[in-house]
Amino acid sequence: MKQIPILDVGGVLISTSILTEYFCCDLDACGGACCIEGDAGAPVTVDEIGEMEHSLDAAWPLMSAQAQAVVDRQGVAYTDPEGELVTSIVGGKDCVFTYYNYPPTMIEGLPRGCCLCALEKVFRDGRSRFAKPISCALYPIREKHFSGGLIGLNYHRWAICDAAIRKGREENLRLYQFLREPLIRRFGQAWYDELCEVAHELELQSLQSSEDESSDNEIDEARSM
Ligand code: SF4
């Protein structure tokens, strides 16, 4: 099938790889590295900054001393060089809200704690009302904003997530299925239902196309006999 790279679903531009690629986070393999790799914090809105501040007391004991010092100095977010509001980070890369579980997991042969989100932890424990910024919940889908209010969704490929691709294949889970909850949180149930219909349609087209290809091959083989 000829791959259509971008689709318009309910006014949101979608990279087709979100519908076709397999993905399921494998924390045992990656250790939650997306919270501590990279050179900037996660994008946040002004409303989310308010929510993070509201959750701060509950999350505080889980945060490292360095992270607490950064938050004391500059707050839970800052403006990055591109002018975007992002979560504050420690040492130029770790999100201030990261903490480690124990016992440690093995990463590249070395024992290391799995990195988790303090905001999410206190939310799940019923001690705050805010789960975590939507950009974190949607990762590795990244939201892009264009002029006129147009929104685009891209699949951000990163080697640290390679194990998630393998696990997604094993679990038969596509990226849009794995991120069902955050996609509904961001765009609503009706929009997500439409996305599923588009994904189903795309799959049917792909199956049809491979059937056509295999019958073409059979004809070619028959003619060459
Ligand atoms: S997004 Fe990637 S790095 Fe983050 S938890 Fe999932 S697989 Fe691991």
**pLDDT tens track for 162-206:** 999 999 999 999 999 999 999 999 999 999 999 999 999 998 988
pTM attached to this predicted model: 0.85
| Range from 110-114, 132-136, 210-214 carrying the lowest mean pLDDT | 110-114
CB 22 within 8 A of CB 175: yes
Instruction: List residues bridging with 155 in a β-sheet.
Output: 141
Q: CA-CA distance, 39 to 59, in Å (whole number)? A: 23
Ligand 1 site residues, Cβ closer than 6 angstroms: 25-27, 30, 32-34, 139-140, 160-161, 164
Q: How far is the CA of 49 from the centre of ligand 1 (A)?
A: 23
Whether 16 has a pLDDT exceeding 80, the answer reads yes
- State which of 117, 157, 160 you would mutate to test the pocket of ligand 1, scoring each by most atoms of that ligand within 8 A of its C-beta: 160
Residue predicted with more confidence, 83 or 100:
83
Closest atom of ligand 1 to 23 CA is 7
- What are 149-155's contacts with CB under 8 Å, separation 24+? 150/11, 150/13, 151/11, 151/12, 151/13, 152/6, 152/12, 152/13, 152/14, 152/15, 153/12, 153/13, 153/14, 153/15, 153/18, 154/15, 154/18, 155/15, 155/17, 155/18, 155/21
Whether 78 has a pLDDT exceeding 60, the answer reads yes
